[in-house]
Structure 1
Amino acid sequence: MKKTTSKIYVEQEKENPQRKKSQSKKVKKTAQDTIPFDEIYDNGIFRIGDTYSLIFYIPNIDYKVFKDNERNGIYKRYQKLLNCLPSEVKYQEFIVNTDIDINNYVDALVPQYNGVCTQEIYDSFVEKQKAIIAEAENSSCEQQIYGALSFKPVVKMDSINVLFKHYNEIAAQFAEINIKTELLPPEKSFEIIHRIYHFSNPEQFLLPTSFFNVDVNLKDYLAPSSFKFASKYNEVGLDYSCVMFAKRFSRNCDDEFVMDLLDNSSKIIVSKHFSRLEKDTSLDILKEQMNDLQGRIDRRLEINYKRSGASGGSSFIPWSLQRRKKELEALEEKLSSTDCDLFEFAMYIYVAANSLKELNDLRDYIKQTARRHQVTLDVLTGATIQEKGLQCILPFAQPALSDDKTLLGQPFYFTTDEVANLIPFTYQNNIIQSGICYGINQITHMPIIIDRSEGLNANGFVVGTSGAGKSMAGKLEFLNGALKYPDDVFIFLDPEREYMAAMTKNNAFDAQVITVSPNTNTHINLFDTDITYTDEGQSAVALKTDFIMTFCECVKGSGLTANEKTVLDRCVNLVYQDFLANDGDKKYLPTLVDFYNILLAQTEKEAKDMALKLELYVKGNFSTFAHHTNVDLNKRIIIYDVQEMGKQLSDIGSLVILESIWQKVIENRKRGIRTWFTTDEFSMFFRDTNGVFRTGDFFENVYKRIRKYGGVASGYTQNMSEVMESPQATKMLQNSNFCIMLAQNETDLDKIKSMFKLSEKQAAYLDIDEPGKGLIKNGKQIIPFDNQINKNSAVYKLFSTKMADQKKE
Structure 2
Amino acid sequence: ELGDKFIRDLMQSDLEVMISLHAKGSTKSETMTKLRTKKTLMESQKIGEQQKMARTGIYLEKVGHVLENNINEAEALLQTMTQTGDKLFDTVFLIGVLADTENQLKQSLDIIKQVAGSNDMIIDNLTYMQEAAFNSLLPFGKNYLEGVSRSLLTSNIAVNAPWTSVDIQDKGGKFYGINQISSNIISIDRGKLNTPSGLILGTSGAGKGMATKHEIISTKLKEADSDTEIIIVDPENEYSIIGQAFGGESIDIAPDSTTFLNVLDLSDENMDEDPVKVKSEFLLSWIGKLLDRKMDGREKSLIDRVTRLTYKHFDTPSLVEWVFVLAQQPEQEAKDLALDMELYVEGSLDIFSHRTNIKTDSHFLIYNVKKLGDELKQIALMVIFDQIWNRVVKNQKLGKKTWIYFDEMQLLLLDKYASDFFFKLWSRVRKYGAIPTGITQNVETLLLDANGRRIIANSEFMILLKQAKSDREELVHMLGLSKELEKYLVNPEKGAGLIKAGSTVVPFKNKIPQHTKLFDIMSTDPEKMRT
- 1:270-419 matches, cutoff 5 A: 270-272=21-23, 276-277=31-32, 280=36, 338=83, 347-349=92-94, 351=96, 360=105, 367=112, 379-381=123-125, 383=127, 400=147, 408=148, 417-418=155-156
The one-letter amino acid of 2:205's match is G
State percent identity of aligned pairs. 28
For residues 166-206 of structure 1, give each alpha carbon's deviation from its aligned partner in whole angstroms, at most 9, with x where no partner exists.
xxxxxxxxxxxxxxxxxxxxxxxxxxxxxxxxxxxxxxxxx
Unaligned runs of at least 5 residues, structure 2 = 48-68
Q: Does 1:563 align with 2:298?
A: yes
Offset at 1:520? 2.8
How far apart, CA to CA, are the structure 2 residues paired with 1:735 and 1:259?
45
Distance in 1, matches of 2:432 and 2:490, equals: 37
Contact map agreement 2:285 2:418 (CA 8 A) in 1: no
CA contact (8 A) 1:340 1:417 kept: no
The corresponding residue for 2:486 is: 763
1:527 is displaced (CA, Å) by 0.5
CA distance in 1, matches of 2:114, 2:459: 39
Alpha-carbon separation, structure 2, partners of 1:786 and 1:365 = 40
For 2:304 and 2:16, how far apart are their aligned partners in 1? Answer: 68
State yes or no: 1:446 paired with 2:177. no
Report if aligned partners of 2:132, 2:144 keep a CA contact under 8 Å in 1.
no
- Return the letter of the residue paired with 1:529: L
Compared with structure 1, are the counterparts of its residues 642 and 604 closer, same or farther at alpha carbon in structure 2 (3 Å cutoff)?
same
Question: Is the alpha carbon distance of 1:362 and 1:577 closer, same or farther for their aligned partners in structure 2, counting shifts above 3 Å?
Answer: farther
RMSD over aligned Cα atoms: 4.3
- Mapped to 2, the partners of 1:450 and 1:727 lie a distance apart of 29
Structure 2 residue identity aligned to 1:541: V
Alpha-carbon contact 2:197-2:461 (below 8 Å) kept: yes
Residue 774 of structure 1: which of 484, 494, 497 is its match? 497
1:485 and 1:361 map into 2 onto residues whose CA distance is 54
Task: Write the distance in 2 (CA, Å) between the matches of 1:479 and 1:365.
Answer: 53
- Flag the 1:596–1:284 CA change in 2: closer, same or farther, 3 A: same
Residue of structure 2 aligned with 1:641, choices 351, 355, 368: 368
Q: State the Cα distance separating 1:422 from its structure 2 match.
A: 4.0
Q: 1:258 to 1:349 in 2, by over 3 A?
A: farther
User: Are the equivalent residues in 2 in contact too, given 1:348–1:392 (CA < 8 A)?
Assistant: no
Decide whether the 8 Å contact of 1:441 with 1:784 is kept in 2: yes
CA separation of 1:633 and 1:733: change in aligned 2, threshold 3 A = farther
Residues in 1 aligned to 2:190 and 2:506: alpha-carbon distance in whole angstroms: 14
Q: Which amino acid aligns with 1:611?
A: A
Deviation at 1:740, TM superposition (A): 0.8
Aligned to 1:525: 262
Give the equivalent residue in structure 2 for 1:786. Answer: 509
Tell me the equivalent position of 1:513: 250
Cα deviation, residue 710, structure 1: 1.3
Q: 516, 541, 554: which is aligned to 2:289?
A: 554
Q: Determine which of 640, 663, 667 is the counterpart of 2:394.
A: 667
Amino acid paired to 2:306: C
- Kindly tell me: are residues 636 and 333 of structure 1, through their superposed partners in 2, closer, same or farther at Cα, counting changes over 3 Å? closer
* Map of 1:477 onto structure 2: 215
Q: Quick one: distance in 1 between partners of 2:267 and 2:521?
A: 37
Deviations 1:383-442 (A, max 9, x none): 468799899989679952xxxxxxx58x57x66644553469756654445332212233
Indicate conservation of the 8 Å contact 2:22/2:143, yes or no.
no
- Check the 8 A contact 2:175/2:186 in 1, yes or no: yes
What is the one-letter code of the residue matched to 1:622? L
Instruction: Confirm whether residue 729 of structure 1 aligns to residue 480 of structure 2.
Output: no
The letter for the 1-side match of 2:338 is A
Q: Aligned to 1:652, what secondary structure does the other structure show?
A: helix
Cα 1:745/1:386, change in 2 over 3 Å: same
Give me the whole-angstrom Cα distance separating, in 1, the residues matched to 2:10 and 2:458: 32
2:133, 2:144 within 8 Å by CA — same for their partners in 1? no
Q: 2:431 aligns with which of 708, 718, 725?
A: 708
Query: Is residue 492–residue 639 contact of structure 1 (8 Å, CA) maintained in 2?
Result: yes
Contact preservation (8 Å) 2:195, 2:458: no
Residues in 1 aligned to 2:423 and 2:461: alpha-carbon distance in whole angstroms:
16
Cα distance change, pair 396–786 in 1 and its aligned pair in 2 (3 A): closer
Deviation at 1:595, TM superposition (A): 0.6
User: Is the contact made by 2:467 and 2:489 (CA closer than 8 Å) also made in structure 1?
Assistant: yes
Distance in 2 between residues matched to 1:763 and 1:365, nearest whole Å: 43
Distance 1:761 1:377 in 2: 34
Pick one of 748, 759, 765 that aligns with 2:471.
Answer: 748
Alignment-derived partner of residue 465 in structure 1:
203
How far does the alpha carbon of each residue in 1:205-244 deviate from its partner, in whole angstroms, 9 at most, with x for none? xxxxxxxxxxxxxxxxxxxxxxxxxxxxxxxxxxxxxxxx
Deviation digits for residues 591-647 of structure 1 (CA, Å, limit 9, x no counterpart)? 000111111112111211211121121112221111111234432222222223223
Counterparts of 2:430 and 2:414 in 1: how far apart (Å)?
Answer: 24
Alpha-carbon distance, 1:718 to partner: 1.1
What residue identity is the alignment partner of 2:390? Q
The SS at the match of 2:183 is: coil
**Contact kept? 1:676, 1:712, Cα under 8 Å:** yes
Q: Report the Cα distance in structure 2 between the residues aligned to 1:797 and 1:387, rounded to whole angstroms.
A: 50
SS for the counterpart of 1:765 is: helix
Cα distance in 1 between the residues matched to 2:8 and 2:373: 60
Query: Secondary structure of 1:575's match?
Result: helix
Contact 1:593/1:626, CA 8 A, preserved across alignment: yes
Determine which of 572, 592, 613 is the counterpart of 2:319: 592
Aligned-pair distance for 1:548?
A: 1.8
Matches within 5 A, 1:233-248: none
Task: Report the TM-score, using the length of structure 2 for normalisation.
Answer: 0.79
Using the alignment, how far apart are the partners of 1:369 and 1:790 within structure 2? Answer: 45
Aligned runs of 1:183-198 on 2, under 5 Å? none
Count of aligned residue pairs for this structure pair: 494
Give the Cα separation in 2 of the matches to 1:484 and 1:492. 18
